Amino acid sequence: MKSAILILSGPSGAGKSSIISAAADKIGDFYFSISSTSRQPREGEVDGRDYHFVDKEEFERGIESGDFLEYAVVHGNYYGTSLKLVREALDAGRLVIFDIDVQGYHLAKAKMGDLITSAFILPPSLSELEYRLKARATDRDDVISKRVENAKKEIKEIGAYDFVIVNDDLDRAAGEFVAVANAARLKLSNKERELFVKNWLSS
């Protein structure tokens, strides 16, 4: 299958991971890009599975060396995406899925815009988002408040995304995600379009 890049954004608590898990057997071979972060692991998180956990100094050295496709500071911590692992997955013909914030999406789009398909995933309402964040009981109240305020800002950037998925029913949202993943594989880069036209005209 053709390789592709699919970027997902949306507030923490939108259910992005649940949607990917529900759709995993219907989207072909894919690589979920694990971000690097300078924050401390939460209880139950595993290095290399949830994030690549590094200290702030190591992350900043990576920024200086150009090792990241994108990076951002979120709630005082660095988050970023390794270029090396992304390239390896694309060369293998895999669908590369990112879960990054709006700031990171704009940075990635500036570098690889014609290769990227994007979707913004969110709960049906702000009040539902706040309920989900409180119900999972993994963050302090002040962190939840920051996440809610951040969601209010990020939703204003929804027009920059190709698709919007409202996660009010997991099965329906997963079905929409499958459709978006298939669309991402069909998308042609500028280089691919030029080659297609050249080959078509000469055939």
Residue 137 scores a pLDDT above 80: no
In this structure, are residues 178 and 23 in contact, taking their beta carbons and an 8 Å threshold? yes
Mean pLDDT for the chain overall? 91
* pLDDT of the residue at 44: 87
Angle between helices 126-136 and 141-154 (to 10 degrees): 150
Written in H, E and C, the secondary structure of 43-82 is CCCCECCCEEECCHHHHHHHHHHCCEEEEEEECCEEEEEE
Among residues 39, 69, 34, the alpha carbon closest in space to that of 56 is found at 39
What fold does the segment set 4-33+94-202 form as a domain?
A: Rossmann fold (3.40.50)
- Which ranges of the chain would DSSP assign to H, the alpha helix? 16-23, 56-65, 83-91, 102-112, 126-136, 141-154, 170-186, 190-202
pLDDT mean over 148-157:
92
* pLDDT of the residue at 50: 84
pLDDT mean over 163-181:
97
In this structure, are residues 89 and 75 in contact, taking their beta carbons and an 8 Å threshold? no
Confidence of residue 91 (pLDDT cuts 50, 70, 90): very high
In this structure, are residues 47 and 32 in contact, taking their beta carbons and an 8 Å threshold? no
Percent of the chain residues topping a pLDDT of 90: 58
* pLDDT of the residue at 134: 87
CB-based contacts of 100, cutoff 8 Å, min separation 6: 7, 8, 9, 35, 70, 72, 79, 81, 108
* pLDDT (tens digit per residue) in 98-130: 998 898 899 888 888 888 999 999 999 999 998
Residue 38 scores a pLDDT above 90: yes
Domain range summary for the chain, segments of one domain joined by +: 4-33+94-202
* Residue that wins the pLDDT comparison between 49 and 94: 94
* pLDDT (tens digit per residue) in 26-35: 999 999 988 8
* Exposure class string for 143-162: b at 16+ Cβ within 10 A, else e: ebeebbebbeebbeeeeebe
* pLDDT of the residue at 123: 94
Residue 199 scores a pLDDT above 90: yes
Residue 25 scores a pLDDT above 80: yes
* pLDDT of the residue at 189: 86
* pLDDT of the residue at 112: 82
CA angle, residues 46, 129, 123, in degrees to nearest 5: 95
